[in-house]
Structures are given as structure tokens and as C-alpha cells.
Amino acid sequence: MLRKHTYCDELQQGKRALGPTYGTSPVAVHRHAISGVGSAAREHLFDKAVTPSDVGKLNRLVIPKQHAEKYFPLQIDGAASKGILLNLEDSGGKTWRFRYSYWNSSQSYVLTKGWSRFVKEKSLRAGDVVSFQRSTGLDRQLYIGWKPRSSSTFIPAVQALHLARPIPVMRLFGVNIAKVPGKTASTPTHDEGGRNGERWRCRSRSSGRRDASESCNVDCVRR
């Protein structure tokens, strides 16, 4: 874990003004990127719109096989099927450690341990899109980002239960703290950001666990 520099600033997001895509073009924007450290260029690996199961009680994220095999190969040599730990950094500089493994039963690649905490802290909901990037530098640092689902993304079963999503890290249920900037199209209200200027760091109270984590704010773009 090292990686300290917490440049809590969303960078990840680059210009997303236009496109719905993270703003992180294949070439790592990582803009205001504080300083040079760690600010190497990033290549975008792949995105996945999370399913209800990915954010539900199964506590796992299925990585589409073609992407998994291309970017996160696992050696299946007999014994090593235990999976590995992947360290990914989010836009706030926080490092997330996930167990990544292959489930024979479903013939799929999954992120298990650690994933549910990410879902909670970011308040991920079905349809939201998570993005994986990798530094083009020598360190090959991995990054993870996410953005709300676009309004056009239709996901049956998911209700508009909470139209307003609390600021990710905040976890204030049902309370919409802030507001949406011009993003438009994206989720109805999705506030992300609201008052941004500041960053709050709050911890999600669920707590308890060991790596708990706090983190600074936002992710996708918060703001």
C-alpha cells in the first residue's frame, strides 16, 4: 500500500462533459493531476455496467470473460486457483484491494472480497458503470472508477427507489444533498457533486472492518 499521495481530486474524470465516458480516454488524462508522481498516463481497459447481482448480496463483481482473460490473466496451474489480490486506486487516491479469482462453478472471473465495500462506499447501483484503467508507466498501477448509469440505460427491476443518490461516500440514505451540475443526460438526478468545492471525507459508517477506509470523496466525478 503505499501510494500515498492522496490527491483527492477527481481527476479521473476528465472532461466527461461530453461523452458519457469517464473522460478518461485511452490516454490517461489524469489531469490536474497533482504533481508528477503517479500521474503517468493511463490506458482504459474496459468498462462494465453493473448488474443487480453485482451490487446485491452476492458480494461479487463478474468480470466479463474476454476482458478478464485479456487484462487480468490468472494462471490456473493446478494449484494456484486461489485467486490473487488486485490493488486498484480510485479517483480519490484510495487503494482498494479486491480478491480476484475464477469460479469454476460458473466459469466466470470475479472480484469477491472487498467488492461489497466498494459498492457501499460508492453507493453503486445496478446500471452504473465501473471502469478499469491501468497506468502505462512501469508500475502498471491499476485504477478503478465509476459513473452513474446513463438515463437511457434501462434496467428493469431496478427501481427508482432512490432517485437521489447520496454522495457516494456519505451514505445518507435518501437524503439528497446536492446536486447535479450540468451533466444532464446522465442519471436523473444524480447529484454528484454538489457542493463541491469541498471535499468531505466522511466515513461510511458501516465500519467495522479492517480496512476500513475512508476516502475522500468522490469518484466518478464528483462534482
Contact residues for DNA, defined by CB under 7 A: 1-3, 51-54, 56-60, 62, 64-66, 81-83, 99, 101-108, 112-117, 120, 203, 205-209, 212
* 22 or 98: CB nearest DNA: 98
Q: Categorise residue 152: left if φ over 0, alpha if ψ from -120 to 50, beta otherwise.
A: alpha
* 93 or 114: CB nearest DNA: 114
Q: 14 CB contacts (<8 Å, ≥6 apart)?
A: 22, 23, 24, 25, 29, 30, 31
Q: How far is CA 91 from the centre of its chain?
A: 8
List the one residue out of 100, 119, 120, 118 whose CA is nearest residue 110.
100
The least CB distance from residue 186 to DNA, in Å, is 23
The least CB distance from residue 105 to DNA, in Å, is 3
* 120 or 179: CB nearest DNA: 120
Q: 170 CB contacts (<8 Å, ≥6 apart)?
A: 177, 200, 202, 204
* 52 or 194: CB nearest DNA: 52
CB 191 within 8 A of CB 179: yes
CB 85 within 8 A of CB 97: yes
The least CB distance from residue 41 to DNA, in Å, is 28
* 54 or 128: CB nearest DNA: 54
The least CB distance from residue 63 to DNA, in Å, is 7
The least CB distance from residue 202 to DNA, in Å, is 8
CB 86 within 8 A of CB 109: no
In this structure, the chain runs to a length of: 223
Instruction: Tell me 150's DSSP state.
Output: B
The least CB distance from residue 158 to DNA, in Å, is 12
* 20 or 127: CB nearest DNA: 127
129-143 core/surface letters (b: 16 or more CB in 10 A; e: else): bbbbbbbeeeeebbb
